[in-house]
Amino acid sequence: MQKRTSASELFALCAEKLHITERAAAGFFTVLKKQGVHSDDLVVRLEEMAIHHKEILERFEGFKCYFPEVEVLREKAGQAVAVGEFYHAEQSLLQARENARAVLAEDHTAPLDILKEWQVSETEICTNLAMLHLLQYHYSDAVQFFQAAAAALPEERKVEQAFCLCQAGSILWDIDRYPDALSLYEQALFIAREIRDRNREAALLRDIGMLYIVQQQDDKALEYLEQCLDVCGNIDCKEAEVLALEDIASTYNTKKEYAKALEYLEQSLGILRETGEKEDESRVLNNIGAVYQAQGEFPSALEYFEQALALSRENEDVETESRQLNNIIDVYKAQGNYDTALKYSEQDLALMRDCGEEQQECVVLNNIGMIYSAKEDHSTALQYHEQSLEKAEKLGAEELEASIRANIAWIYITQDKPAKAEPYLSRAVEIAEELEHPDLENWRGALKEVCTELQKQSSLIGRMLRFVRGKET
């Protein structure tokens, strides 16, 4: 029987991996427990928390308050953060803020530079509080303190004001509060234009455009993205110009205005070939291929996908190479050219095996099985699906396992073999229920039909047996 890992051992392992103290690791787990985070998400959340933890500690170290009575409390808060005592850190920072405000309210005769130091101190405390709440996934509190930080700043500290507003806007974006995020980004944009910060202006115009895209307001998105493109051209920032061109192209593609999409992508491609950015060139070639594919212009799509594939191999970018292979496979499948699709699939399979990507190898095996199913070569399809299933079970990839089992079940259903389909489909449904899989209802419906068919067959067999026995009597 495997020995169960104790809490202290778990904290030690976590501390070593994330480069934090064991007490900080314990604090992380306390936060995640309160948030009810699923075990499958623990690793991602812990890594995310470690990044925020490092950022806030660096912030504490990088700023020293002019006023000792405030700085003592900030230092105390920093020490509490370092050991995962986030509640105590928050209390110290709130007390520091109250002290700063009290002194500021009492001393109206202080010189202007001293008053501004108080304002900067309050801003820093509010920023610390915002980052502390973000670390604990208290999004609304984090937003409020970033806004308070912006409001506390002296009027001339425009850059810091824009930074705080953007931080708050970014959090609101992450939690899908898009109109609120837009309001803050618009305020930051106004500041950027006021101080003539063209780089920041371009970045904010793009962010606002992307916010309209996620709200499916494509015309508003294009309005801001075109402004972004104009600013990028004026400041001669090729990297930002390429991104703006691609964003505009993507929006036109969504609107099914394919000629416009291609026009902007070709401009982007021209810049990248001038600057020699091969990785980005591969991405744009792929996007052009995708636009042609969406129009059903398969020869043109293949031409660009093949160029992108060649570049990804030249760049030794395995992930992109696999993506290009799959794009080419999809085109050949759409044309019903399954043999050529299989040829590229075997290349993808060899690639995944060479780089030891077992889960992706499992995906490719499943995909090959589906191509053989489309060819109605069910025997070969089952061989690939069974190989894929064995690997998925070994890796514990339950979502993938469920899909493979459903694919195997479909083959048996098409062969009118419900008895063989039932155990595969039953297990797929069982896994899907645990994972809240999007195909759950479809699989439940199929399983119900399979079980109904089995009952019919059982009833028929029973009648036949009674008939035979009656004859024998």
CA-CA distance, 25 to 46, in Å (whole number)?
Answer: 9
256 with 285, same domain: the answer is: no
The answer to whether residue 363 sits within a structural domain is no
User: Structural domain tally of the chain?
Assistant: 4
The answer to whether residue 2 sits within a structural domain is no
87 with 58, same domain: the answer is: yes
**Helices of type H across 175-257:** 178-194, 198-214, 218-235, 238-254
The answer to whether residue 366 sits within a structural domain is no
216 with 234, same domain: the answer is: yes
Residue 297 or 456, more confident: 297
69 with 46, same domain: the answer is: yes
User: 94: burial class by Cβ within 10 Å (0-12, 13-18, 19+)?
Assistant: middle
CATH number at residue 295: 1.25.40.10
Q: Show contacts of 97-105: CB within 8 Å, 24+ apart.
A: 97/122, 97/125, 97/126, 97/129, 99/69, 99/70, 99/73, 100/67, 100/70, 100/125, 103/67, 103/69
Mean pLDDT calculated for residue range 255-260:
97
32 with 137, same domain: the answer is: yes
- Domain coverage including residue 351: 277-356
294 with 266, same domain: the answer is: no
296 with 396, same domain: the answer is: no
Each residue of 346-369: pLDDT tens digit?
Answer: 999 999 999 999 999 999 999 999
User: 355: burial class by Cβ within 10 Å (0-12, 13-18, 19+)?
Assistant: middle
CA-CA distance, 408 to 387, in Å (whole number)?
Answer: 11
pLDDT value, residue 102: 78
39 with 131, same domain: the answer is: yes
The answer to whether residue 361 sits within a structural domain is no
Mean pLDDT calculated for residue range 98-108:
73
Domain end among 225, 244, 271: 271
- CB atoms under 10 Å from CB of 196, counted, come to 8
Do residues 150 and 104 touch, judged by C-beta distance below 8 A?
no
The proportion of the chain whose per-residue pLDDT surpasses 70, expressed as a percent, equals: 93
pLDDT value, residue 17: 84
The answer to whether residue 1 sits within a structural domain is no
Do residues 249 and 222 touch, judged by C-beta distance below 8 A?
no
Residue 135 or 118, more confident: 135
Mean pLDDT calculated for residue range 364-380:
96
Each residue of 145-160: pLDDT tens digit?
Answer: 999 999 999 889 999 9
pLDDT value, residue 186: 97
pLDDT-derived band at 464, boundaries 50, 70, 90: low
349 with 396, same domain: the answer is: no
User: 260: burial class by Cβ within 10 Å (0-12, 13-18, 19+)?
Assistant: middle
17 with 130, same domain: the answer is: yes
pLDDT value, residue 473: 45
Q: Given a cut of 90, is residue 257 above it in pLDDT? A: yes
Report which of 166, 164, 185 is spatially closest to residue 120, judged by C-alpha positions: 164
